[in-house]
Chains A and B, each alone.
Chain A
Amino acid sequence: MAGIPTRGMRGSDLRMTTVARAAAIAAQLQEECSILIEHYRKKENFPPDVSDGPLVSVPPPSSQLDTRDKLWRLHSALEQCHSLLERAIAKEEEELGGEEKGEYENRRKTVKERLLFLLNHTRELLRAADGSSIFTPSLDGSELDDPATLFQLKWWVYRIFMEVKYWSQTAIAVLQELQSDTAKTPSKLSKRSARR
C-alpha cells in the first residue's frame, strides 16, 4: 500500500519505491484514460482533439521549477482533475441518466479510482518532501462553471477526460524525473524542505 512504510527500508529506499509505484500507476492511468476517451469519442461521435483551453488551473511550466515544485504542480493538477471528474460523473448521472452500469460507466469509475490512487501517492511524496501537510487548491462549486446545456455537458466531460489523460502523461514525466533525481541524490528533497 502506498504510504505505508516498509519495515527495514531506509527513507530513500521507501521514497524510491513510492515514486516507482506512482509512476507505474500514472502509466496505467494514462492507458485506461486513453481507452475511456476512445470509448466516449466513439459513443458521442466527437473529434479526436479539443481546441478549448484547459480546465485545470496551475502555474505555467517553467524550466526554473525544481523537481519538488513540479511535483507540487502535478499534485495540484491531479487534485483538480479528480474534483472535475467527480463532478462530471455526478452531473452526467443527473442530467444524462446513469442508472445502468455499462462498459462506459465501469471504465469511468476505474479511471476515477486510479486517479485517486495516484493522487494519494503524489500526496505521500509531497509529505515526504515537506514533512508537513500540503496546501492543495480547493475547488468548490462556485469556482467552476457548470455546463448549462446537455450538449455542453457532454463536451465538458470529454474535456475532463482529456485533461486527466494529459496530466497522467505529465505525471509519468515528472515522476520519472523524480526517480532519476532521487537515485542521484537520495536526500535532495529532504534537504530542500529543511532549507525552507
Chain B
Amino acid sequence: MRIGRIKMIMWCFLFLILFSLSEQDGQQTGVSQCGPQNLIVRSLDQMLLAEWKDNASCLTLNEPILYKMAVLIENKEVYSDEVSVTPGDIGSTHSWNWTSHMPLQCASHTFRLKSQINSQMSLLEQENTLRGETGSGLEKVFPQDAVLEVGSMATFCCIVPDGEQFDKMYLSGSTGRNMSTTQISEQRYTLTVQLEEVWDRCVDVLCETKEPTKRQYGSCVYVGYPPDVRDLQCETRDLESVECLWKEGRDTMVKVKSPTVYQLNESTCDSKSNRTCKKKFKVEGGKKNWTLTAWNKLGKVEIQDAADLTKRVHMLAPHELTVADVNARNASLTWRWRVQQYSNLDLTCQINITHTQRYMEHGVGLNATVLINLRPNWKYKVKVRCRTAQHFWKWGDWSQSVTFHTEGDVPDALDVWMKKEENQTVIVWKMPLDKQSHGDITEYEVTWATTGDLNQLNKTRVHPSVHRYTLCADTSGEHVVTVTARNKHGSSPPSNITIPVISPNKTSMNTSWITGSNGGFNLSWFGSPKASCGYIVDWVPAVGDGPVDWQKLRPSQTSIRITSISSENLVDGLRYSLSIYACTQTSPVLLEKKEGYISETRIQENLFNSLKFKWNGADVEISWDPVPLKQQSAFIRGYVLYCQDKSSHSIRVTSDNPEDTSLTAKNLKISSYTFTVVARTAVGECGNTSITAALNFQTDSFIKTFFISLGAVSILLLLITVLCYRHWSCIKQKVYPQIPKPDMTDWLTSSVTNVHPYLLKDSSHHAEEHMDIPQLLYKSGEPLNNNTHRKQMALISSQTPQGYQNLHLDTSNPNIPSLPVFSNPMYNLPMLGEDRTPTSELKLQVKNEYQPQSLAEIFRQNQTDQDPISFVSEYIMTRHNETT
C-alpha cells in the first residue's frame, strides 16, 4: 500500500511538474488563451469607435492585459496603438476611438485588435472593417452637408463611379488654401484643403470626371466658428426667477446647419429667446454662480457670472398709471405693481412729466405721488419707472404714459412797456403765451393816473386781440399806468409802468451806430446807479410804424444779445433803433440810444431818384435829393461820383459825408459823359444811379455870339431902312434921277394911243416866223431893272412893223407857267402904214434901259415908272377877262 501510495504521489508530482513545465513552455513561446471578444467598430463622423470585451480566459489573470490595435485604410496600416487593461478592469467593456484624417465613408477602415499578457501574444485576434461608401446617385463626394471649422484642414473624398475617370476636385469659390488631391485607391481620391471663412452659406466641394462621361459630383459643406458668447449678466425681474443676458461675439456662420444651443446651469434655454435665458429660481440672499454653455457642431463655450440676485433687481414697469384730483397746479398720480414682492422693497421712482424736469420719489413699495408746480390749463403726459433704493442695479422699465389736463387759472402778470410816438405815449404789452394766459383772455384793462393824484383813475378796456393802448393824457406830468389781463378765472396781477414827462423842447440823445453779428445785436453798456430794478432794452424799426419789442433785465445784467430767436420780425437790411433804459422806482430813464442793422444788405440800384447836373465851365455838379431812410438797407458812409467819357476815361469824386447831396467833378473835357453816383456802405458801393450828358461849352458861346451878331445886323438894317425911307426922295434924286419923258406925241397919237389894249390879239408862231421883229432880250448880267422879278418877268417884247407879240423865252424853269402870247391887233390896223414902224425908237429905249417905263408909257398911260410888276399883273388879268 505504502509503495503504491508513494508511486501515486510520485506520479502526481510528476504530472504537476510536467503540467507546470508545459505551462512555462507555453508562456515562453508567447501564446495566450486570453484575448478580446465581441469587437464592435462604429463610426461617428470621422471618428472610429471600437468596443470589446475580454474573453473568459482572461478573468483569472492577475496581470494586466496589453491590447494592441491597428487601423488600416484600404489595407494599409496608418495607425497603431496600445492600451493596457489592469486586472481590476478585466472583464469590463473596453472602448477606443480614433479620428481619421478623412471621412470614414471615403475608404475602408479596418480595426485590428490583439492582446498580450506578459509578453505572450494571445492567439485570439479580432478585426472589424468599416467599408467605405461606394456612392449612390449623385452622392459621390464625402462628407455630405458637413459643418467644418474655419482654418481647419479638411479632407474630402470623391468616389469615382465605374466607367468614369477622375478629372479634378476643388472647392467652389476661393474658400480654401493649400489644396492637394491624393489618390487613395483606384477609384477613390481625396482633396485636402485648409478652410477659409464663408459667409453664412454652404460651400460646394466638387469632383469632376473626364470626358466622355464628364460629370460633376459634389457636396455642400458649411464652414464657420464655434459659438462666441461673452458678458453674462444675471438678474431678477420678479424675484422668482433668474434672467441671464449675454452678448454675442463673432457670428458662427453655421446657424442654418448647426444652430447654437444654450444651457444655463445645465438647463437648456428656450431657443427663441434672443440672448437671454430665463429660469425659475427662488431668489434669496447670497451670491450664486451662473454658467451659460453655448455649443454647436464646431465647439462649446462656457461663460459665468456670480451674483446676489437680491441686489440685482431689474424692476418691471408700473401698470395702471392713474392721474386723479387734477387741479390748476397739482394732481395726484397712482400706479400698481404686477409683482407683489415689490411692495416690500424700498423703491426710488422717477416721474417724467412733459415740459418739466424729471423728479424722484422714494418709499417702500411706492405706488403714488403728487405732481406739483404744474401749469394751469396745460396738457401733460406722465410716466414712471422705479428701481430699488439700496442696491442700484438698473432702472426699471418705463410705464405707459398717461395724459391729463390741468384746470385753468387767472393769467400771469403782463409784461408792459411803452412807446413814444411824437407827443403821445403808447402802452404796449406782450400777448400772454399759452403758459401765461392759463385760459382764453377775454379782455385787457388799462388804468392810469397822474403820480400827483393817484386817486383819480382813468380806466379803459381793450379787446383781447389788441395789445397796445394810446394814452390820451396830459403829457406834462408823470403817469402811472396799470394793465391787467382777464380770463374766465379772473384778472391777472396788475402790471405798472410810470410814463415820464414828454418835454416839448427835449434835446435828443446822441445816437450811435451798432452793427449786428451772426444774426443778432450784441448790446452792452455801463451799469447805471439809477437802475434800481434793472434795465429795459427795447428795439423798433427806425423807419415806419414797426412793432416795438423789449426785454427786461436784472440789475446785474448789463449786456444782452438780441436775435431773431429772442425776438420776432428782425429783418436783415432794416434799420433798428435800440434804446437802453434804466428801470427806476419811477419812470424809466433812457441811458443809450443806438441804431443799426442785424445785417447790412446791398442798397438797391437807382437809389438816387432825382439826379441833376449843372455845369459851370469845365466843372459839373451832380446833385440829388437826400436818400430816404426807408431805402437805406445799410449805413451810407459817403458817396462816390464816377464821370466816364466815351473813351472810358473815368474820374472819381468821393465824399465821406452821408449828409451830402451833391458832388462836383472839375476840369472836364468836351465830351459826352456818364455820371454815376453810388453810395458807399459796409457791403460795398451800391445804389448806382447814372445820367449821361454831352459837355460842349465852346459851341454854346459860339451860338451866343452868333445870335448877338445877328441881332446887331438886324438893327443896323432896320436903321438903314428907316433912313432910306425918310430920305428916299433925296436918294432917288442922287441915285435914280428923273429921266425926262421922250417926246413921242405924234407917234403915239397917230397909232398907239387910239388903240385900246384890250384889242390886242394873239398871233400865231407862224406869223412870228415870217416877221422880222427886233427882240428885247434879257441877258444874264444885264439887269433890266432892279425892281423887276427877273425870272417870272423874263418876257420878250418883240415889235415888228406889222405885228407885236410877247414871247416867253425862259425855258430854264419849267415850273413857271408860260404866259400866253398875244398878237397886238394894233399893228394890224389898216391905217398904219408900213413905213411908219417905230423900230428906231424902240431900239433907243432898249439902249437906255428904261424898258418898264417905256412899256408903261406905251400900253398904259397911267402906269407909274416904279412898278413894272403891276404892269404884268394887269396884263394877265386883262387876258383872263377876255377869255372869260
A interface with B by C-beta (< 8 Å): 44-45, 47, 95-97, 148-155
Q: A97-B201, A151-B218 are in contact. List 9 more A-B contacts (CB 8 A).
A: A44-B172, A45-B173, A148-B144, A149-B144, A149-B145, A151-B138, A151-B219, A152-B137, A152-B138
Tell whether, in the assembled complex, residue B139 and residue A148 are in contact, meaning their CB atoms are under 8 Å apart. yes
B543 in the interface (beta carbon within 8 A): no
B679 in the interface (beta carbon within 8 A): no
Least CB distance from A46 to B in Å reads: 9
Give every chain A residue within 8 A of B204 (Cβ-Cβ): 44-45, 151, 154
CB contact under 8 A between A151 and B201, given known A96-B256, A97-B256: no
SS of A interface (majority):
helix
B202 in the interface (beta carbon within 8 A): yes
Tell whether, in the assembled complex, residue A97 and residue B255 are in contact, meaning their CB atoms are under 8 Å apart. yes
Give every chain B residue within 8 A of A150 (Cβ-Cβ): 144-145, 202, 219-221
Tell whether, in the assembled complex, residue A47 and residue B216 are in contact, meaning their CB atoms are under 8 Å apart. yes
B117 in the interface (beta carbon within 8 A): no
Residue of A nearest to B145 (CB): A150
Tell whether, in the assembled complex, residue B216 and residue A96 are in contact, meaning their CB atoms are under 8 Å apart. no
- A96, B204: Cα distance in complex, Å: 12
Question: Which 10 A-B pairs have CB atoms at the shortest separation, nearest pair first?
Answer: A150-B220, A97-B256, A149-B144, A151-B218, A151-B220, A150-B145, A151-B219, A45-B172, A150-B202, A149-B145
Give every chain A residue within 8 A of B255 (Cβ-Cβ): 97
Least CB distance from A51 to B in Å reads: 8
Which residues of chain B (131-156) have a CB below 8 Å from chain A?
A: 137-139, 141, 144-145
- A187, B219: Cα distance in complex, Å: 55
Residue of A nearest to B138 (CB): A152
Tell whether, in the assembled complex, residue A96 and residue B202 are in contact, meaning their CB atoms are under 8 Å apart. yes
Interface centre among B145, B172, B255 (most CB of A within 10 A): B145
23 contacts between A and B (CB under 8 A): A44-B172, A44-B204, A45-B173, A47-B216, A95-B256, A96-B201, A97-B200, A148-B144, A149-B139, A149-B145, A149-B220, A150-B144, A150-B202, A150-B219, A150-B220, A151-B141, A151-B204, A151-B218, A151-B220, A152-B137, A152-B138, A152-B139, A153-B220
Give every chain A residue within 8 A of B256 (Cβ-Cβ): 95-97
Residue of A nearest to B256 (CB): A97
Give every chain A residue within 8 A of B216 (Cβ-Cβ): 47
SS of B interface (majority):
loop
Give every chain A residue within 8 A of B221 (Cβ-Cβ): 150
- A47, B215: Cα distance in complex, Å: 11
Least CB distance from B644 to A in Å reads: 69
Residue of B nearest to A98 (CB): B256
Residue of A nearest to B143 (CB): A149
- A150, B201: Cα distance in complex, Å: 11
Give every chain B residue within 8 A of A155 (Cβ-Cβ): 138
Least CB distance from B431 to A in Å reads: 55
CB contact under 8 A between A154 and B220, given known A45-B204, A95-B256, A97-B255: yes
Give every chain B residue within 8 A of A44 (Cβ-Cβ): 172, 204
Which residues of chain B (226-259) have a CB below 8 Å from chain A?
A: 255-257
Give every chain A residue within 8 A of B219 (Cβ-Cβ): 149-151
- A155, B144: Cα distance in complex, Å: 14
Give every chain B residue within 8 A of A95 (Cβ-Cβ): 256-257
Give every chain B residue within 8 A of A153 (Cβ-Cβ): 220
Least CB distance from A16 to B in Å reads: 46
Indicate with 1 or 0, residue by residue over B210-222, a CB within 8 angstroms of chain A CB atoms: 0000001011110
Give every chain B residue within 8 A of A149 (Cβ-Cβ): 138-139, 144-145, 219-220
Give every chain B residue within 8 A of A152 (Cβ-Cβ): 137-139
Give every chain B residue within 8 A of A45 (Cβ-Cβ): 172-173, 204
- A149, B105: Cα distance in complex, Å: 15
- A44, B138: Cα distance in complex, Å: 16
Interface centre among B141, B202, B255 (most CB of A within 10 A): B202
- A151, B171: Cα distance in complex, Å: 13
Tell whether, in the assembled complex, residue A151 and residue B200 are in contact, meaning their CB atoms are under 8 Å apart. no
- A151, B256: Cα distance in complex, Å: 15
Which residues of chain B (700-725) have a CB below 8 Å from chain A?
A: none
Give every chain A residue within 8 A of B257 (Cβ-Cβ): 95
Least CB distance from A156 to B in Å reads: 10
Interface centre among B172, B204, B221 (most CB of A within 10 A): B204
Residue of A nearest to B139 (CB): A149
- A155, B219: Cα distance in complex, Å: 11
CB contact under 8 A between A151 and B144, given known A45-B204, A97-B200: yes
Least CB distance from A90 to B in Å reads: 14
Least CB distance from B303 to A in Å reads: 26
Least CB distance from B141 to A in Å reads: 7
Give every chain A residue within 8 A of B139 (Cβ-Cβ): 148-149, 152
- A47, B137: Cα distance in complex, Å: 19
Give every chain B residue within 8 A of A96 (Cβ-Cβ): 201-202, 256
- A44, B216: Cα distance in complex, Å: 13
Give every chain B residue within 8 A of A97 (Cβ-Cβ): 200-201, 255-256
Interface centre among A45, A151, A153 (most CB of B within 10 A): A151
- A47, B139: Cα distance in complex, Å: 18
Residue of B nearest to A153 (CB): B220
- A154, B173: Cα distance in complex, Å: 16
Which residues of chain B (88-146) have a CB below 8 Å from chain A?
A: 137-139, 141, 144-145
- A154, B201: Cα distance in complex, Å: 12
Least CB distance from A44 to B in Å reads: 7
- A44, B218: Cα distance in complex, Å: 12
- A149, B257: Cα distance in complex, Å: 12
Give every chain A residue within 8 A of B220 (Cβ-Cβ): 149-151, 153-154
Least CB distance from A41 to B in Å reads: 12
Least CB distance from A97 to B in Å reads: 4
- A180, B706: Cα distance in complex, Å: 108
Least CB distance from B718 to A in Å reads: 111
Residue of B nearest to A97 (CB): B256
Residue of B nearest to A147 (CB): B138
- A155, B220: Cα distance in complex, Å: 11
- A116, B220: Cα distance in complex, Å: 31
Residue of B nearest to A154 (CB): B220
Give every chain A residue within 8 A of B144 (Cβ-Cβ): 148-151
Indicate with 1 or 0, residue by residue over B442-477, a CB within 8 angstroms of chain A CB atoms: 000000000000000000000000000000000000
Least CB distance from B559 to A in Å reads: 60
